[in-house]
Amino acid sequence: MQDIELLHEGLALMGLGMGFVFVFLTVLVITTTLMSLTLRRFAPEPAKPASGSARPPAPRQEDEELMVVIGAALHRYRQRHRR
């Protein structure tokens, strides 16, 4: 008889714990969603870049030389480590 009562208490405690975790996680998701919506509403709009003035810089000589050196190193590595 005592084992059955202990089993019932354990199941009740498990249900209470799982219910508490479920409610807590639900409240956490709702709070996070509401906070996100609030911040989106009051956050300033991002600045739009000017259409013609934001050109990417032309590649410099150092960048081109670096690409040649990396390509040569990769070619040499692949020649030495063939399968």
Residue-wise DSSP of 24-79: HHHHHHHHHHHHHHHHHHHSPPPPPPPTTT-PPPPPPHHHHHHHHHHHHHHHHHHH
Q: Residue 51 has what pLDDT?
A: 65
Q: Is residue 83 part of a domain?
A: no
Q: Quick one: CA dihedral 20, 23, 29, 32, positive or negative? A: negative
Q: Is residue 62 part of a domain?
A: no
Q: Is residue 49 part of a domain?
A: no
Q: Is residue 65 part of a domain?
A: no
The model carries a pTM of: 0.49
Q: Residue 23 has what pLDDT?
A: 98
Of 4-8, 35-39, 48-52, 75-79, minimum mean pLDDT range: 48-52
Q: Give the domain extent around 31.
A: 1-43
Q: Is residue 60 part of a domain?
A: no
Q: Residue 11 has what pLDDT?
A: 96
Top-confidence residue, 68 or 18: 18
Q: How many domains does the chain have?
A: 1
Q: Is residue 5 part of a domain?
A: yes
